């Protein structure tokens, strides 16, 4: 009988899938995993992007709000939808961690530059996950078991910095040894395989993560921030440094926000955005949003309502085309980070808080292709405008309301630390749009810019209306599939697994 | 036989051909010549030696022969007719014998009547003279007449009755009473692999349904006609119209991850099930694509046997663990050419439509708002138009027309049929058309030792706009949610020319026309039907070759090959103007084609021998191979620059939610098996089987070989002991069976990667090389009794099965390695039950006959264990498994300690005292799938069926009542209607000033915005699935051939109905319809097509 069954192994090998041996050519068996990593920092798939961040961080950051009347109680009014909030977690594991693990396991000694690249992308992808949930499985990822323990967020951040150390060291030495070599080019959708750009990206990422933990571990924050700035490879600092997911190497996608805002009709401009950007007479408004079908003007929706009718269906949609590439990181962010560092008295490479702030705002206008109005940076009077909901006056936020973002644009060396921090973060908020995850981190960390509290709070007391949402609960499928793991996560979190528990780095005493 | 004494041998020295060839033919024309001369002439022409004894018969008898190229055997038969002599062909010799009877026998007219045991004349009974081609059939009065000579043996054969032989004596009248053969001791049943066995020897429960019983009220999918006729058979139809899939489960669900559907076996060979993708969620882009069994032409079916247990597994393999439906198809018959024509037309009407309100118009919170998508506006003023959902549905028309021809000689029979089924569904645009062509030829040669059976079926069918479920591409969503108090008539004209774009765009109410309206984006229902058309095509060829050779009278060898090749296509054209959620600005196109090829071959050695007076053995030794190859190619996406040009060249393969993929799988199973029956005195039988499979999907595991045995015992008590006269038959049987089942292809294959847009991706399920085949142990014990000369029948069976080592695709933490799931073996699902039937078959008066059969079945199902994970050191016992394709607020689960298929749904959040938590004026929901509440089980506790047929003179009447008791369903459609305010329930709530929650009334819209919809408190929409209905009924009248000068045999005209009415029903929809026939969306309705009542008439003519 053995001769009859000798074909069984062949029969049972799926010809529609790729085996390791089939992918050896052109190093696809290592490099082939990178595009999937880069594509999933922000998912290119609309319905995944929607759950990954559009219906949580993009709303919690104050950028946007959903006009959809079919959702029932949901994240936007603090009813944390367990089915939605697993997406980001799974995406990170399946598309970031897994690809990194494949590359690490398959790399030969001469492939260490690939491992370095995988580490950078892993830190970039996974910090966005831990900043949503707090503790995550990180060091014990890939045990192939039904129980995977979680790491505390502090442990995860410690690992992030160490991994960036390894990556920067390896790539720096590779670039020195092989100047001009671009082995990563066939797999890179962001920087065309240019390791020098990736080193700038890694340094800027380090600076971002350092600033994140400034209230939890100020010493490490300063150490890492200064290390990032001091690295000879530099930071992202010009329009050409912006990290976009480019349609190269065969990648073709539609910007997911285009479908989410247009076809789904599930995301629109928020009230807070309208209040701040119109208060500043900021022309970036037209670059970010479209005039509403409701009244031809820009109209934003107040966060945290029970929307049961289609009244907001015509409010301002996002101004995004299907061909608009996804922005991974804006170079202007590095200036705002340095401005904050300088404000804190750190050595940010020979500039002042004001000079970095000015550079950041100027670069942001360039990045968005919008001409900065004359006198914009000197405007010492404009602050956020009162908000009027044309369909429902109970949502209005009138002049004098403490939730209006009461900061002007013009730098004022005489202003308090907090005022200037608010100024930096507000402009950073406008510059890094639409990266709601980063903006929500800043809001939780600093309390800026000031946003409007929810009108309706369906959290059942778990989330304070005046303190705002602090995290999203652990993934519901983890409760079912890894209950012991979640238990270690809850312990590491140090509070109940709901949207009101603050993360490890979220300890600024001035933030309610 | 007389020996060759002083013989007159006619030697033929010049004969060129020493051996007799069965196909030797002869041309002869003699009129009234002496027999001896004729024989001499015959020998000369054929080269055969003819041996006879002149003393035995009158050689001078005059015979006449006029034939042209007639086989020798037939010429001899003709001489037999005229002389009564017997001829035996032996090598190159013809041996003539006449016995010791009088040399002269005169041909006489023999006539008589054939009746059944109840005294009813039997029409169309075949009466033939044994060993000849001569014969006739009984007429409408059961009478026959033919020429025969004394000593001839008349053979009376009739479907469903025991063949009887009567020797012609001196009398001219022969009256015969035929016994129905389903209750005969000598009854021979077709069992696994087409092996015939004595019914008495079966150690398991097998129930037979004749083709006639299926004709009571035909359904385009014949299997739906089995409802209520077989105990233990649970049929659930998909709500996808004519030609849709049917879930058929015997003795309860067993397999958690795999299928619990029965195996269909056509003429001894397993039929490729051709399962199609099933609807899979709230939005559900896909419609059911039908299944393999729905392709069969019901008019080709001779009879159906249902093997309820796993006993046939040794012979059919793993798939038979869920029971088998054996289908025997028609063959040509020797004798007169018979042509039949059947025409059946039925009219379908939608029933059980949702109840919509006509009190409150469009708007919200009691205020009219023409921009709202809800019907929570102000009270309607009198005369306000309201859309009646029934107006959308047409009267469906189903026409089933078929033609069959049967002809043949003793040596060679041919059957040809053509059938056409054409259905215009109740939803406009839904058309189903199927054509079946069958050709079958059965022939015998080599001295009747070799039988060759060739058959081919070709099926081509097309389905347009097969009804779907879910909210997208479903016109019912748009109809049921259309704002009340709004005039629908402007939208019947569903499109108009847009002068700017110069194409037709849909007419539809705002704000649905604005993309980004939120909600569920219903489109104009007619636009969906005509401008989002789906078409599904099927071309299927089944070809079978069988050769059987009788080595001796008790030993034969048989080989078969069957090829089943099915090509299917599916396309969806989305015209520009389709909501942008579903298509691009210039339209969209999705296309896929798939091929499913199955090749089956087997070789059997059959033994059937009496060993000594008391013992006999009936056994089969066989090997088989089955190879399945499936492949598919599909693409889809938004259209490019050319509006409404549906071609791959105009599809942007990266837009929308694009897909472009090829898939290919192949699985092969090789088997060796044996089945042996030992019989003692024809009343005690021991049946032992064993089978070993080598399955390619088990490659890479420890072993791809597995063995499973069975043993059974059957005892005919009524033959063993002397029983009182009123007991005509009694039998006890017991059997035990093991069935192994392989795993699906590729699950054990080492890691492979998927390619998406040219980039490597991880496959989401972790491959495991430690997997084992599933195993089911089943035990059954049963008894059969017949009383009062078989007029009353009773049988009962108890069974018990445990299924172990089930394969699960278990979700894992995505952090365990990036995989979303991994396969494990485990589990123990127990099914035990009791089933039985009680029948009556007899005369009420001489003209009035009544057959009645009552079936009962009860199944108790329990998940005893799922699996235990030992990978993390301490055993981790997993007690819950959620089936895939759960939708918001609903999930189907297997939970340890509960029956299989438990429905869990979202519900109110309650405080410790059980009160609903209300916050901010809103009732609060659990909204966590992990904490959904158990609302019941999707399977019934027990089922009853009662079939009746009456015959009064030329009238016949039949009906079936069946009932299912227990089980629950949830109706998400109602939840949607409440959320939108179109339901009568929502109006009633408004009339009452709101819905009572904890004793306080909450505004209806506020309440239903939380409780209704796709993610509301679905547990509040759970209903009992218990229902009792008049399943089918028919009234027929047979017009005798005499009314047509006997030009035709007869014509039967009948009126019939299916799904006529419910005696009892609590659910708002038909709980026996389902969205999907796999293990997922059971017990839930979500805008499925309503059930239909069918009324029709049929004409069948026999020539």
Task: Please report, for the domain that includes residue A167, its CATH number.
Answer: 1.25.40.390
Q: Is B923 on the interface with A (CB under 8 A)?
A: no
Q: Is B811 on the interface with A (CB under 8 A)?
A: yes
Q: Report the distance separating Cα B426 and Cα B438, nearest Å.
A: 30
Chain A segment 258-317 residues within 8 A of B by beta carbon are 259, 261-266, 293, 306, 308-311, 313-314, 317
ipTM value of the model?
A: 0.85
Instruction: Name residues whose C-beta falls within 8 Å of residue B11's C-beta, 6 or more positions apart in sequence.
Output: B49
Instruction: State the angle between helix axes of A153-177 and A112-133 in degrees (0 to 180), rounded to the nearest 10.
Output: 150
Residue length, chain B? 1103
Tens digit of each residue's pLDDT (9 = 90 or more) over B766-780: 767 778 888 889 999
Question: Is residue B656 very low, low, confident or very high in pLDDT (cuts 50, 70, 90)?
Answer: low
B763 vs B271 pLDDT, higher one: B271
Contact B608, B617 (CB under 8 A): yes
pLDDT at B1065 over 70: yes
Chain B segment 813-832 residues within 8 A of A by beta carbon are 813-820, 822
Top residue of B628, B632, B768, B818 to mutate, by most chain A CBs within 10 Å, is B818
Q: Is A32 on the interface with B (CB under 8 A)?
A: yes
Q: Percent of chain B scored above 90 by pLDDT?
A: 33
CB atoms within 10 A of CB B1098: 22
pLDDT at A270 over 80: yes
Tens digit of each residue's pLDDT (9 = 90 or more) over A17-36: 787 777 777 888 788 899 99
Cα torsion for A221, A227, A230, A234, to the nearest 10°?
-90
Chain A segment 54-83 residues within 8 A of B by beta carbon are 67-73, 79, 81-83
Question: Is residue B1078 very low, low, confident or very high in pLDDT (cuts 50, 70, 90)?
Answer: confident
Q: Is B705 on the interface with A (CB under 8 A)?
A: yes
Q: Which residues pair with A289 in a beta bridge?
A: A318
B660 vs B515 pLDDT, higher one: B660
* Contact between chains at B929 and A83 (C-beta distance less than 8 A): yes
Contact residues on chain B for A474, CB-CB shorter than 8 A:
none
Residue A195 falls inside a structural domain: yes
pLDDT at B872 (0 to 100): 63
Q: Is B930 on the interface with A (CB under 8 A)?
A: yes
Nearest to B209, CA basis, from B129, B325, B64, B347? B325
Tens digit of each residue's pLDDT (9 = 90 or more) over B489-501: 999 999 999 999 9
Measure the CA angle with vertex B29, ends B26 and B31; round to 5°: 140
pLDDT at B19 over 50: no
Residue A159 falls inside a structural domain: yes
Contact residues on chain A for B882, CB-CB shorter than 8 A:
480
Instruction: Name residues whose C-beta falls within 8 Å of residue A409's C-beta, 6 or more positions apart in sequence.
Output: A280, A361, A376, A377, A378, A379, A380, A382, A423, A427
Chain A segment 449-478 residues within 8 A of B by beta carbon are 456-458, 460, 476-478
Q: Report the distance separating Cα A165 and Cα A162, nearest Å.
A: 5
* Chain B residue with minimum CA distance to A478: B813
Tens digit of each residue's pLDDT (9 = 90 or more) over A276-318: 999 999 999 999 999 999 999 999 999 999 887 778 988 999 9
A120 vs A142 pLDDT, higher one: A120
* Contact between chains at B876 and A68 (C-beta distance less than 8 A): no
Instruction: Name residues whose C-beta falls within 8 Å of residue A29's C-beta, 6 or more positions apart in sequence.
Output: A20, A23, A106
3-state secondary structure of B415: strand
Contact A420, A411 (CB under 8 A): yes
Tens digit of each residue's pLDDT (9 = 90 or more) over A53-102: 999 999 999 999 999 887 878 899 998 888 789 999 999 998 999 999 98
Dig out the tokens for B124 from the structure.
């169309």
Which domain covers residue A94, as residue numbers?
Answer: 27-250+270-493
Q: Is A13 on the interface with B (CB under 8 A)?
A: yes
Minimal CA separation from A147 to chain B, in Å: 6
Read off the pTM: 0.79
Residue A16 falls inside a structural domain: no
* Chain A residue with minimum CA distance to B638: A254
CB atoms within 10 A of CB B497: 10
Top residue of B759, B764, B885 to mutate, by most chain A CBs within 10 Å, is B759
Dig out the tokens for B319 from the structure.
């798939």
Question: Is residue B101 very low, low, confident or very high in pLDDT (cuts 50, 70, 90)?
Answer: very low
pLDDT at B175 over 50: yes
Contact residues on chain B for A35, CB-CB shorter than 8 A:
759-760
Residue A205 falls inside a structural domain: yes
Question: Is residue B657 very low, low, confident or very high in pLDDT (cuts 50, 70, 90)?
Answer: low
pLDDT at A362 (0 to 100): 97
Asked which of B52-61, B901-910, B1009-1018 is least confident by mean pLDDT, the reply is B52-61
Q: Is B1010 on the interface with A (CB under 8 A)?
A: yes
* Contact between chains at A81 and B927 (C-beta distance less than 8 A): yes
Tens digit of each residue's pLDDT (9 = 90 or more) over B327-354: 888 888 877 788 989 999 999 999 999 9
* Contact between chains at A456 and B920 (C-beta distance less than 8 A): yes
CB atoms within 10 A of CB A396: 14
pLDDT at A329 (0 to 100): 97
Q: CB-CB: which of A72, A144, A265 is closest to B1015?
A: A72
Nearest to B970, CA basis, from B808, B871, B1095, B1084? B1084
Q: What is the mean pLDDT of residues B69-80?
A: 78
Tens digit of each residue's pLDDT (9 = 90 or more) over A455-475: 999 888 899 999 999 999 999
* Contact between chains at A97 and B815 (C-beta distance less than 8 A): yes
Cα torsion for B606, B610, B614, B619, to the nearest 10°?
-10
A219 vs B189 pLDDT, higher one: A219
Residue A510 falls inside a structural domain: no
Tens digit of each residue's pLDDT (9 = 90 or more) over B354-390: 999 999 999 988 999 887 888 999 999 888 899 999 9
Q: Is A46 on the interface with B (CB under 8 A)?
A: yes
Q: Is A151 on the interface with B (CB under 8 A)?
A: no
Nearest to B396, CA basis, from B645, B220, B598, B178? B220
pLDDT at B189 (0 to 100): 65
Q: CB-CB: which of A12, A457, A478 is closest to B746?
A: A12
CB atoms within 10 A of CB A462: 19
Count the helix, strand and coil residues of chain A and give each as a percent rounded to the nearest 5. Answer: 45, 5, 50
* Counted domains in chain A: 1
Residue A263 falls inside a structural domain: no
Q: Report the distance separating Cα B199 and Cα B348, nearest Å.
A: 40
Contact B440, B332 (CB under 8 A): yes
Q: CB-CB: which of B766, B815, B1014 is closest to A137?
A: B815
Question: Is residue B736 very low, low, confident or very high in pLDDT (cuts 50, 70, 90)?
Answer: very high
Q: CB-CB: which of A14, A264, A476 is closest to B930?
A: A476
A52 vs B701 pLDDT, higher one: A52
Tens digit of each residue's pLDDT (9 = 90 or more) over A329-385: 999 999 999 999 999 999 999 899 999 999 999 999 999 999 999 999 999 999 999
Contact residues on chain A for B822, CB-CB shorter than 8 A:
144
Asked which of A139-153, B215-229, B400-414 is least confident by mean pLDDT, the reply is B215-229
User: How many CB pairs below 8 Å do chains A and B form together?
Assistant: 268
Tens digit of each residue's pLDDT (9 = 90 or more) over B518-558: 567 789 999 999 999 999 999 999 999 999 999 998 899 99
B139 vs B544 pLDDT, higher one: B544
Q: Is A19 on the interface with B (CB under 8 A)?
A: yes
Contact A452, A397 (CB under 8 A): yes
Minimal CA separation from B97 to chain A, in Å: 53
Minimal CA separation from B29 to chain A, in Å: 60
pLDDT at B6 (0 to 100): 35
Question: Is residue A412 very low, low, confident or very high in pLDDT (cuts 50, 70, 90)?
Answer: very high
Contact B798, B834 (CB under 8 A): yes
pLDDT at B14 (0 to 100): 38
Contact A184, A114 (CB under 8 A): yes
Residue A21 falls inside a structural domain: no
pLDDT at B21 over 60: no
Q: Which residues pair with B806 in a beta bridge?
A: B826
Residue A300 falls inside a structural domain: yes
Contact residues on chain B for A484, CB-CB shorter than 8 A:
872, 876
Contact A255, A325 (CB under 8 A): yes
pLDDT at B799 over 80: yes
DSSP annotation string for B321-381: GG-EEEEEE----SEEEEEEEEEEEEEEEE-S---B--SB-SEETTEE-TT-SSB-SSBPP
Q: What is the mean pLDDT of residues B1026-1037?
A: 91
pLDDT at A69 (0 to 100): 80
pLDDT at B827 (0 to 100): 83
Chain B segment 882-911 residues within 8 A of A by beta carbon are 882, 888
pLDDT at B493 (0 to 100): 94
Q: Report the distance separating Cα A191 and Cα B622, nearest Å.
A: 65
pLDDT at B3 over 50: no
Contact residues on chain A for B888, CB-CB shorter than 8 A:
83
Q: What is the mean pLDDT of residues B1003-1011?
A: 91
Q: Is the dihedral of CA B510, B514, B516, B520 positive or negative?
A: positive
pLDDT at B943 over 50: yes
Q: Is B579 on the interface with A (CB under 8 A)?
A: yes
pLDDT at B129 (0 to 100): 83
Contact residues on chain B for A33, CB-CB shorter than 8 A:
760
pLDDT at B187 (0 to 100): 58
pLDDT at B433 (0 to 100): 94
Top residue of A26, A118, A145 to mutate, by most chain B CBs within 10 Å, is A145
Q: Report the distance separating Cα A273 and Cα A315, nearest Å.
A: 13
Contact residues on chain A for B917, CB-CB shorter than 8 A:
460
Q: Report the distance separating Cα A361 and Cα B874, nearest Å.
A: 57
pLDDT at A6 over 90: no
Contact residues on chain B for A252, CB-CB shorter than 8 A:
654, 757
B1038 vs A441 pLDDT, higher one: A441
DSSP state for residue A43 in the 8-state scheme:
T
Q: CB-CB: which of B518, B700, B920 is closest to A9?
A: B700
- Please measure the distance between the N-terminal and C-terminal CA atoms of chain A and give it in whole angstroms: 74
Q: Would you put residue A325 in left (φ > 0), alpha (ψ -120 to 50) or beta?
A: beta
pLDDT at B414 (0 to 100): 94
Q: Report the distance separating Cα B291 and Cα B264, nearest Å.
A: 11
pLDDT at B15 over 50: no
Question: Is residue B185 very low, low, confident or very high in pLDDT (cuts 50, 70, 90)?
Answer: very low
């Amino acid at each position: 009988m053995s001769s009859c069954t000798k074909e069984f192994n062949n029969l049972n090998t799926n010809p529609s899938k790729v085996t390791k041996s089939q992918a050896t050519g052109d190093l696809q068996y290592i490099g082939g995993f990178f595009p999937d990593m880069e594509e999933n920092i922000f998912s290119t798939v609309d319905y995944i992007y929607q759950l990954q961040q559009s219906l949580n961080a993009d709303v919690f950051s104050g950028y946007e709000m959903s006009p959809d009347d079919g959702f029932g109680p949901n994240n936007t009014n603090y009813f944390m939808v367990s089915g939605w909030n697993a997406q980001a977690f799974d995406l990170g594991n399946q598309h970031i961690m897994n690809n990194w693990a494949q590359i690490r396991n398959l790399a030969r000694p001469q492939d260490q530059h690939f491992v370095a690249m995988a580490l950078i992308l892993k830190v970039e992808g996974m910090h966005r996950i831990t900043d949503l949930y707090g503790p995550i499985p990180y060091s014990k990822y890939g045990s192939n078991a039904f129980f995977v323990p979680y790491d505390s967020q502090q442990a995860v951040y410690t690992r992030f910095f160490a991994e960036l150390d390894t990556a920067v060291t390896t790539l720096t030495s590779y670039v020195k040894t092989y100047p001009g070599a671009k082995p990563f080019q066939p797999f890179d959708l962001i920087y065309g395989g240019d390791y020098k750009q990736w080193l700038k990206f890694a340094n800027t990422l380090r600076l971002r993560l350092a600033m994140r933990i400034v209230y939890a571990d100020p010493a490490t924050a300063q150490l890492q921030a200064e290390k990032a700035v001091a690295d000879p490879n530099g930071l992202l600092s010009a329009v050409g440094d912006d990290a976009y997911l480019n349609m190269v190497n065969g990648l073709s996608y539609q910007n997911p926000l285009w479908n989410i805002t247009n076809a789904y009709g599930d995301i629109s401009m928020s009230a807070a955005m309208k209040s701040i950007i119109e208060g500043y007479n900021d022309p970036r408004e037209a670059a970010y949003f479209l005039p509403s079908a409701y009244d031809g003007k820009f109209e934003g929706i107040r966060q945290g309502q029970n929307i049961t009718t289609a009244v907001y269906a015509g409010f301002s949609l996002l101004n995004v085309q299907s061909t608009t590439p996804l922005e991974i990181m804006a170079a202007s962010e590095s200036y705002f980070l340095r401005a904050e560092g300088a404000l804190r008295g750190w050595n940010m490479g020979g500039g002042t808080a004001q000079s970095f702030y000015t550079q950041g705002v100027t670069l942001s206008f360039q990045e968005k292709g919008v001409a900065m109005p004359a006198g914009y940076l000197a405007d010492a009077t404009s602050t956020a405008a009162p908000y009027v909901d044309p369909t429902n006056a109970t949502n209005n936020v009138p002049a004098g309301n403490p939730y209006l973002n009461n900061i002007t644009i013009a730098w004022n060396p005489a202003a308090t630390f907090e005022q200037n921090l608010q100024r930096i973060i507000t402009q950073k908020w406008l510059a890094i749009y639409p990266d709601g995850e980063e903006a929500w981190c800043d809001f939780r960390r600093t309390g800026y810019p000031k946003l409007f509290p929810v009108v309706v709070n369906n959290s059942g007391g778990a989330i304070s209306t005046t303190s705002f949402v602090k995290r999203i609960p652990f993934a519901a499928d983890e409760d079912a599939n890894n209950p012991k793991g979640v238990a270690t996560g809850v312990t590491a979190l140090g509070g109940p697994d709901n949207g009101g528990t603050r993360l490890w780095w979220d300890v600024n005493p001035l933030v309610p | 036989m007389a020996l060759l004494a002083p013989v007159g041998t006619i030697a033929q020295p010049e004969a060129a051909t020493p051996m007799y060839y069965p196909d030797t033919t002869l041309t002869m024309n003699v009129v009234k010549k002496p027999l001896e001369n004729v024989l001499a002439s015959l020998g000369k022409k054929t080269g055969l030696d003819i041996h006879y004894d002149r003393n035995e018969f009158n050689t001078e008898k005059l015979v006449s022969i006029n034939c042209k190229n007639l086989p020798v055997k037939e010429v001899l038969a003709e001489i037999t007719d005229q002389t009564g002599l017997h001829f035996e062909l032996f090598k190159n010799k013809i041996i003539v014998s006449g016995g010791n009877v009088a040399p002269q026998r005169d041909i006489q007219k023999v006539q008589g009547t054939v009746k059944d045991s109840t005294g009813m004349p039997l029409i169309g009974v075949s009466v033939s003279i044994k060993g000849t081609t001569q014969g006739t059939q009984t007429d409408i009065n059961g009478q026959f007449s033919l020429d025969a000579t004394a000593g001839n043996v008349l053979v009376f054969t009739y479907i469903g009755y025991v063949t009887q032989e009567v020797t012609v004596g001196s009398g001219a009248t022969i009256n015969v009473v035929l016994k129905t053969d389903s209750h005969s001791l000598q009854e021979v049943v077709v069992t696994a692999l087409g092996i015939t066995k004595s019914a008495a020897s079966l150690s398991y429960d097998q129930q037979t349904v004749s083709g006639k019983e299926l004709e009571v009220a035909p359904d385009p999918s014949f299997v739906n006609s089995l409802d209520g006729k077989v105990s233990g058979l649970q049929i659930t139809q998909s709500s996808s119209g004519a030609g849709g899939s049917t879930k058929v489960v015997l003795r309860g669900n067993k397999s958690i991850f795999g299928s619990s559907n029965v195996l269909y076996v056509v003429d001894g060979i397993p039929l490729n099930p051709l399962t199609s993708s099933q609807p899979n969620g709230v939005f559900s882009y896909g419609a059911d694509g039908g299944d393999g069994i729905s392709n069969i032409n019901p008019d080709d079916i001779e009879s159906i046997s249902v093997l309820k247990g796993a006993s046939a597994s040794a012979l059919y393999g793993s798939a038979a663990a869920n029971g088998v439906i054996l289908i025997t198809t028609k063959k040509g018959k020797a004798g007169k050419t018979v042509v039949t024509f059947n025409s059946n037309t039925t009219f379908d009407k939608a029933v059980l439509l949702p109840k919509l309100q006509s009190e409150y118009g469009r708007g919200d919170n009691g205020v009219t708002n023409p921009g709202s998508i809800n019907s929570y506006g102000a009270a309607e003023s009198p005369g306000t138009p309201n859309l009646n959902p029934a107006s959308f549905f047409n009267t469906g028309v189903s026409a089933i027309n078929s033609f069959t021809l049967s002809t043949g000689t003793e040596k060679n029979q041919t059957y040809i049929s053509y059938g056409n089924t054409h259905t215009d569904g109740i939803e406009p645009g839904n058309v189903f058309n199927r054509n079946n062509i069958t050709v079958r030829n059965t022939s015998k040669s080599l001295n009747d030792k070799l039988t060759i059976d060739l058959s081919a079926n070709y099926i081509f069918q097309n389905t347009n706009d097969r009804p779907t479920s879910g909210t997208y591409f479903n016109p019912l969503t748009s109809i049921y949610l259309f704002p009340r108090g709004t005039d629908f008539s402007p939208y019947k004209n569903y499109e108009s020319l847009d002068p700017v774009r110069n194409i037709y765009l849909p007419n539809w109410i705002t704000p649905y026309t604005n993309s980004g309206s939120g909600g569920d984006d219903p489109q104009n229902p007619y636009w969906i039907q005509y401008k989002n058309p789906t078409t599904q095509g099927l071309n299927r060829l089944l070809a079978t070759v069988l050769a059987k050779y009788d080595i001796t009278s008790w030993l034969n060898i048989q080989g078969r090959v069957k090829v089943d090749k099915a090509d299917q296509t599916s396309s969806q054209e989305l015209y520009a103007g389709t909501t942008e959620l579903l298509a691009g600005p210039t339209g969209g196109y999705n296309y896929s084609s798939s091929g499913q090829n199955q090749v089956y071959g087997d070789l059997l050695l059959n033994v059937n021998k009496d060993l000594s007076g008391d013992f006999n053995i009936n056994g089969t030794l066989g090997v088989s191979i089955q190879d399945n190859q499936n492949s598919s190619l599909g693409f889809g996406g938004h259209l490019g620059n050319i509006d409404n040009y549906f071609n791959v060249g105009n599809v942007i393969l990266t837009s929308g939610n694009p897909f472009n993929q090829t898939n290919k799988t192949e699985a092969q199973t090789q088997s060796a098996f044996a089945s042996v029956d030992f019989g003692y005195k024809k009343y005690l039988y021991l049946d032992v089987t064993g089978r070993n499979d080598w399955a390619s999907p088990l490659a890479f595991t420890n072993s791809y070989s597995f063995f499973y045995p069975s043993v059974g015992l059957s005892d005919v008590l009524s033959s063993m002991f002397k029983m009182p006269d009123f007991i005509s038959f009694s039998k006890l049987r017991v059997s035990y069976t093991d069935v192994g089942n392989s795993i699906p292809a590729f699950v054990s294959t080492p890691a492979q990667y998927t390619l998406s847009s040219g980039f490597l991706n991880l496959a989401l399920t972790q491959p495991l090389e430690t997997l084992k085949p599933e195993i089911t142990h089943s035990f059954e014990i049963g008894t059969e009794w017949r009383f009062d000369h078989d007029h009353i029948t009773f049988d009962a069976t108890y069974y018990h099965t445990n299924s172990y080592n089930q394969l699960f695709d278990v979700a894992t933490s995505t952090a365990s390695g990036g995989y979303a799931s991994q396969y494990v073996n485990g589990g123990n699902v127990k099914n035990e039950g009791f089933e039985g039937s009680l029948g009556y078959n007899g005369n009420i008066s001489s003209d009035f006959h009544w057959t009645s059969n009552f079936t009962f079945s009860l199944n108790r199902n329990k998940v005893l264990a799922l699996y235990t994970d030992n990978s993390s050191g301490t055993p981790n016992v997993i007690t819950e498994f959620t089936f895939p394709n759960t939708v918001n607020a609903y999930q189907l689960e297997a939970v340890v300690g509960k029956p299989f298929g438990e429905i869990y749904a979202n519900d109110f959040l309650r405080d410790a005292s059980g009160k609903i938590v209300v916050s901010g004026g809103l009732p609060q929901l659990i909204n966590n799938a992990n904490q959904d509440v158990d609302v019941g089980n999707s399977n019934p506790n027990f089922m009853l069926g009662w079939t009746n047929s009456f015959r009064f003179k030329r009238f016949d009447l039949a009906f079936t009542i069946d009932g299912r008791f227990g089980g629950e369903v949830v109706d998400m459609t109602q939840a949607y209607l409440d959320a939108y305010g179109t339901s009568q329930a929502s109006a009633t709530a408004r009339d009452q000033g709101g819905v009572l929650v904890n004793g306080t009334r909450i505004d209806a819209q506020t309440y239903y915005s939380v409780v209704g919809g796709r993610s509301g408190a679905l547990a509040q929409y759970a209903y009992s699935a218990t229902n009792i209905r008049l399943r089918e009924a028919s009234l027929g009248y047979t017009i005798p051939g005499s009314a047509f000068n006997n030009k035709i045999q007869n014509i039967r005209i009948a009126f019939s109905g299916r799904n006529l009415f419910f005696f009892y029903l609590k659910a708002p929809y038909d709980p026996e319809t389902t969205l999907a026939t796999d293990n997922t969306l059971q017990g839930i309705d979500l805008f499925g097509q309503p059930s239909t009542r069918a009324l029709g008439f049929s004409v069948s003519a026999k020539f």
